[in-house]
Amino acid sequence: MVFALVVALSFGPALLYASVVYWLDRFEKEPLRLLIGAFLWGAIIATVGAIIATNVLQISLEIITRNPALAELTGTTLIAPLVEESLKGAAVLLIFLIFPHEFDSVLDGIVYAAITALGFAATENVLYLYFQGYATDGASGLAVLFVLRVLLGGWGHAVYTSFIGIGLAVARLRRGWAIKIIAPVLGWCVAVFLHALHNTMATILGSSLGLGGLLATLLVDWTGWAMALGLVIWAIFRERRWMLTYLREEVELGVISAEQYRTACSIRAQLTARARSRASRLFYAACAELAQKKHHLATLGEERGNTARVMALRAGLASQSALV
């Protein structure tokens, strides 16, 4: 009974946070099958893999150094961030490699990474809330950890791993092998650094300064979250600029009407239009995808059959236009 409650308290908020991420992807939604797969990867594969790898590395370090305290501190502040961000990032990398046509913008990278990380956080919170919360201090321990990990720290993993998604998206959208190598590595380094910074502050300041250390850690965390939200907002308006630029030609060609163009380029108008019918939802999603593919064609050239995708999307929009 208690374990079922812990699962609900961990996965319920994680799914709520995931729905917020999905909602923020305003123009061209990512396929649900990939998002569900990313969430499950984080919840199962990344979590189990992290538990095994972190424990093996920490035990190995303890054997080498013969210093259990040092091994535990290193495991928390360095090994765990390295292992966890690598395993969460692997899901985003697989989507990047296997479904590159679904990896169209920086926002896409953030969405896939955040959804994967929220799956990881859900399972990790189950373990913490039950074994370190309820099993140690009963209901009060469970309540404290729920507030700290799920409510106050619920976006931590999503923000760390989002930088891996940003790095991969930059590699996807830029020419040149140097940037395609440097950007993902840099994104991974930022993710590991932010994760390690949080763990280090929570471990050292939390034990030495108590409530003051906790507040300092939360302040740093929330500052990072605010910066990540700023990147999301920038990415949304960047996609809107693509819509304004690349769909104007479709009005001139008679593919879509001027009114449909204005609706497609307006976040508020799209919310109303997409709610009217499934046909409207599919039509405006196709408008966004066409704008993205035209941007790829303009910046990357004939990469992965961009011209053929643009022509197919244009033909589809022309046939759907009269139905919306």
Average pLDDT over residues 272-300: 88
pLDDT-above-70 percentage for the chain: 98
pLDDT at position 269, please?
86
CA angle 106, 200, 84 (to 5 degrees): 50
Average pLDDT over residues 127-142: 90
The arithmetic mean of pLDDT across residues 146-160, rounded, is 93
The pLDDT value recorded for residue 274 is 80
Better-scored residue on pLDDT, 240 or 304: 240
Chain centre distance of CA 130: 26
**What is the rounded distance in angstroms from the CA atom of residue 246 to the CA atom of residue 244?**
6
The rounded distance, in Å, linking the Cα atoms of 324 and 319 is 10
HSE value, Cβ hemisphere, 13 Å, CA-based, for 200 = 12
pLDDT the model gives residue 51? 96
Q: Note the pLDDT of residue 216.
A: 87
pTM of the model: 0.91
pLDDT, mean of residues 129-148: 90
Compute the average pLDDT of residues 128-149.
Answer: 90
Residue type, 29: K
In this prediction, residues 198-220 reach a mean pLDDT of 82
pLDDT at 209: 65
- Average pLDDT on 273-294 reads 88
CA 130 – CA 124 distance, rounded (Å): 10
Average pLDDT over residues 73-101: 95
Span 157-176, mean pLDDT? 93
Angle between helices 156-173 and 177-200 (to 10 degrees): 170
| 243 touches 288 (CB < 8 A) | yes
Mean of per-residue pLDDT scores for the chain: 91
Section 196-206 average pLDDT? 89
pLDDT at position 231 is 92
Cα 22 to Cα 157: distance, rounded to the nearest angstrom: 16
Return the pLDDT at 305. Answer: 80
Q: What is the pLDDT of residues 297-324, one digit of tens each?
A: 888 888 778 888 899 999 988 888 877 7
